[in-house]
Amino acid sequence: MADLETIESTQKAGGTKAHVPRVAVAGVSGYAGGELARLLLRHPGMEGTAPMFLGRASETADATETIESLHPHLSGIGTKPSHAVEPFNWDRLADAGTEILFLALPHEQSREWAPEALKRGIRVIDLSGAWRLQEENNRAIYKLHDADPALAAELQAEAVYGCPELHRDEIRTARLVANPGCYATSIILGLAPLLRAGVADLEVGIISDSKSGVSGAGKAPTAKTHFMYAADNLSTYAVFGHRHTGELLEQLCLSTDQIQFTPHLLPIPRGIMSTIYLRLKQPMKAAEISELFQNFYQGSPLVRLHATPNLPQIQHVVRTNFDDIGFALGEDGKRLIVVSCLDNLLKGAAGQAVQNMNLMCGWKEEEGLL
C-alpha cells in the first residue's frame, strides 16, 4: 500500500491524480455494514471505484446476492447498477490489491482474521470489540480465544483505539484500528475535555445514564429487541456489566468506583443519548466550561457543541456523522450535567470507521461524512 507520505505528495502535486485506495468490507449484511457500504459508495476519495463487498465466513452468498438485495435503500448509489457480495476469500482480496479491510464482523471472527490481514500487508479497521481493550480483565467479557496468544498480544499492543478526537495522530500511521463502541464514543467524547483538564471530582464519582435505539443490539433478532418487547417500553439492561465499560475505564483513565454507566433500550430504531452527571472540584462559570470544550474540540469537525443552556437531542443527530455535546451547570457552579448524542450506526460505528480511513489515507477526516 502507498504510505502516507506518498499519498500526501500525490495529492499535493498539481494536476496529478490522487491515490485511490483499494478497499474491502467484510460483513456487509448487518446494519453497520450497510451504512459502511453507503458511505463508501458515495465517498469522493473513491473516485467511482467501488469497494469489494464480502460476506461473513458463516454466510454462503449465492452468485446473485448484491448489496442492493441486502439493503434495497442503496439501489442507484455508486457507478454500477449493482454491487456483488462475494464469499470471503483471502486470495480474492490479494488479487484485488486490497490495502484497507473493514471488518464488520462478530468479535471472535475479527480476532481471528485481523492477524491474517496484517500478515498480508492489509491495514485493518475493525468495527467489533475484538481489539479495543488493552487490559485482559476488561477484554475478558468478550470471551475471545487466540490460536496464537503471543502474536495476538503483540498485535493488541499495536492496536490503536479509533477515536479520532483523542488519537488522530496514531490513527494516521496505524496498521490496526479498533473502532470504538457506540455507547463508549458518546460518553468518552462528553467527558474527555473535563477529565483531561482535571476539573471533575472523581471522589464523588460520575454517572452516565445512556439510552440507545434498538439497532444498537445488531440485526439478529432477540426476545428483548422484538417489537412486542421494545415498542412502548423503556428498559434497563447490563447493569454493572456492559461490555463498553472497559473502554471508558481505559480511555478516560478511570477506575470502576469512579464511574457508573447504565444502558437503556429506547423504542426507536437508532440514536444514543448519554446524560452524564458529575461534580466539579471547584465552582466554575458556564463560560469557562464552554471554553474548555471549545479548546479541546478545536479542529474536530464531527463534534458539534451546543451553547448552554441548549442541549442535544437524538432527532438532530440521527443519520448524521456528528456527536452533539451540550451541558447544564447548577447554580452552585459545581453540579454539572453533560449530554452527548450520536447516531449509533454512524458516528458510533460506520461513520467513525470511515473517519478513521480518511486519516489513514491522509484526507480530511470529515471527507464524505458531511
Report helix, strand or coil for 359.
helix
**pLDDT of res. 7:** 41
**pLDDT of res. 152:** 97
**pLDDT of res. 41:** 95
Q: Is 182 in the active site? A: yes
**pLDDT of res. 12:** 42
Q: Are strands 335-342 and 272-279 parallel, antiparallel or unpaired?
A: antiparallel
Catalytic residue among 182, 253, 341, 361: 182
Residue 246 has a CB neighbour count (10 Å cut-off) of: 23
Rounded CA-CA distance 276/188 in Å is 10
**pLDDT of res. 62:** 52
Positions of the chain with pLDDT lower than 50, given as ranges:
1-16, 61
Report helix, strand or coil for 296.
helix
The label of the residue with cell 448509489 reads 77
- Please indicate, yes or no, whether the overall pTM of this predicted structure exceeds 0.85: yes
Report helix, strand or coil for 360.
helix
**pLDDT of res. 160:** 98
Does residue 103 contact residue 128 with C-beta atoms inside 8 Å? yes
Cell of 315: 432527532
Please name each of the domains of the chain with its CATH number: 4-179+349-360 (3.40.50.720), 182-344 (3.30.360.10)
Give tens-digit pLDDT for 227-274. Answer: 888 899 999 999 999 999 999 999 999 999 999 999 999 999 999 999
**pLDDT of res. 169:** 98
Q: Which helix (H) or strand (E) holds 41?
A: helix 31-42
Does residue 354 contact residue 127 with C-beta atoms inside 8 Å? no
94 to each of 35, 37, 51, 308, how far by Cα in Å?
25, 20, 14, 52
